[in-house]
A and B are shown apart, each in its own frame.
Chain A
């Protein structure tokens, strides 16, 4: 090895070391988890310090530490867990109904031109309608109890699920249907073994959207009529100016959102294992 080459090599090694250190700092800043949680921590710290420094009235803006205390109290003595469970039950029971009805109806619509002609009309009429506007009518018909809550939750989820199911089934590669037919599959088997599996990513995208709408509608309905549930709790706390409790409920709702999103992400990865080479 020539001298020149050695010198050149040394230069590259030291440069590499320097860039390595810079690299690790940069990679820390590129890590989405660090960035995400870091931003939350930063905002909370600024909030806490700012609230103390400005002496803002806790009635308008309680400090994060006060909210955390209120949250613990509500869970341990205030029965917030019951409210959470009631709300979760309403959301997921309604969503479950929407999932079963929506996918079955969606497959039916996608596989029959006649049914599609009828359904197109109704979907066009009902899908853009904001579902909160149905709350008064549903209360007249169903009262304010369980059936009302399940209906409003199911109504929120069913359209995104149904529409995505139709889309997914109709986008199935015709070559796969032909191959299944060639292998002796009946029309029923083609639906169950080819059309539905190929539509699953699309159905799941619909479930994602639908569950979001279900959460919104159930909480909104609880705010209007509920005695139990997170929405009712939120509304009552606001009326008696318990601002810490309002924030505490909002935190629970945000945590619910994060959990649901992460679970859906995990299911997406699991379902998509055949899509990742």
Chain B
């Protein structure tokens, strides 16, 4: 993958939704954070803290109601540039059920106008990269959850995005499948040196994959801490035995526990 040199900087970014009941919902407030090129940044926080909102704002699917974001080219003295190319891997996979694996993976290239020969060659390569060679002509329904998400990853990677967005990519999978896919993704990320933003509920997942972990507060979502992960790569299941792992885990858990508790209390107040 061509490494991008563009960073995303959030400055006091907030998003408030108007609702029909008249009480506006603050999905995100005063988010200040940076996503550096060539790095994996994880965003972790309690449910409803605005993690996915932040991702959608970065993608350009949601417009912030306050603050601004900048795309700074680190290779050119932080010159402001246009939004880099991004592709998303979704929690719900969002594969097109009427298309085969290869047609799903080639979809983005097709709408881009790439010729059939070229896009099929690229799709085959991407499918092989996620160990799904031989399943090109299966329909999503014929695959297990883990295989479906690997199709989802291939579909995003084939677009050669500057930044890969991972929106709770393994949230819908069982624990074992999740573990295997996390390791595979960690390897893919390490080998390519790609820029990625990972939204997750899982502390283990964040530590396994990320260079930096952003911890968010409960609603309204704010950035509570930015924690660098300096554990050696390649990382895998064995990383949990590294010195420093448990301290890191405990630190993040400590931050999260307070926020999760607060979220639970606020929710029960509201209901």
- Of chain B, the residue at the smallest CB distance from A179 is B94
- A175 to B92 alpha-carbon distance, docked (Å): 8
Asked if residues B61 and A276 are in contact (CB atoms below 8 Å), the reply is no
Once the chains bind, are A173 and B94 in contact (CB under 8 Å)?
yes
The residue in chain A whose Cβ has the minimal distance to the Cβ of B152 is A179
Quick one: which of A250-277 are within 8 Å of B by CB?
A: 273-277
Count chain A residues whose beta carbon lies closer than 8 angstroms to a beta carbon of B.
Answer: 23
Contact flag A182-B87 (CB < 8 Å), given A194-B96, A277-B141: yes
- Which of B23-31, B67-75, B107-115 sits within the interface? B107-115
Query: From residue 153 to 194 of chain A, which have CB atoms closer than 8 A to chain B?
Result: 173, 175-176, 178-186, 189, 193-194
Instruction: Report the bound CA distance from A179 to B167 in whole Å.
Output: 12
Q: B residues 147-205 with Cβ under 8 Å of A?
A: 155, 159
Q: Which residues of chain B come closer than 8 Å to A173, judged between CB atoms?
A: 94
Complex contact B98–A182 (CB within 8 A): no
- Residues of B within 8 Å of A178, CB to CB, are 61, 90, 94
Interface size class of B (residues with CB under 8 A): 20 to 34
Complex interface bits, A179-215 against B, C-beta within 8 A gives 1, otherwise 0: 1111111100100011001101000000000000000
Hey, which chain B residues are within 8 Å of A197, CB to CB? 96, 98
CA distance A175 to B93 in the complex (A): 9
Cα-based distance from A226 to B112 in the complex (angstroms):
54
Write the nearest CB–CB distance from B165 to chain A, whole angstroms.
8
| Interface residue B218 (Cβ < 8 Å from any Cβ of A) | no
B97 within 8 A of A: yes
A residues near B140, Cβ cutoff 8 Å: 274
Q: Is B88 an interface residue (CB 8 A)?
A: yes
Contacts of B98 in A (CB 8 A): 197-198, 200, 274
CA distance A277 to B61 in the complex (A): 33
Contact pattern, A 30-61, Cβ under 8 Å of B = 1, otherwise 0: 00000000000000000000000000000000
Q: How far is the CA of A234 from the CA of B139 in the complex (A)?
A: 49
- A-chain residues with CB within 8 Å of residue B112 when the two chains form the complex: 184
How long is the Cα–Cα vector from A189 to B96 in the complex, in angstroms?
14
Of all chain B residues, which has the CB nearest A192? Answer: B111
Contact of B107 among A180, A186, A273, A275 (CB under 8 A): A180
Contacts of B159 in A (CB 8 A): 183-184
Do B59 and A182 touch (CB < 8 A)? yes
Q: Do A274 and B139 touch (CB < 8 A)?
A: yes
A134 to chain B, nearest CB (A): 37
A179 to B155, CA, bound (A): 10
In the complex with contacts A180-B107, A182-B59, A186-B111, A275-B94 CB distance below 8 A = no
For residue B65, CB closer than 8 A to chain A, the reply is no
Q: Told that A173-B94, A182-B59, A277-B142 touch, could you supply 15 new A-B pairs with CB distance under 8 A?
A: A175-B92, A176-B94, A179-B90, A180-B96, A180-B107, A183-B111, A183-B155, A184-B111, A184-B159, A197-B96, A197-B98, A273-B139, A274-B99, A274-B141, A276-B141
Which 7 A-B pairs give the minimum distances between C-beta atoms?
A183-B108, A179-B94, A175-B94, A277-B141, A185-B111, A274-B139, A182-B88
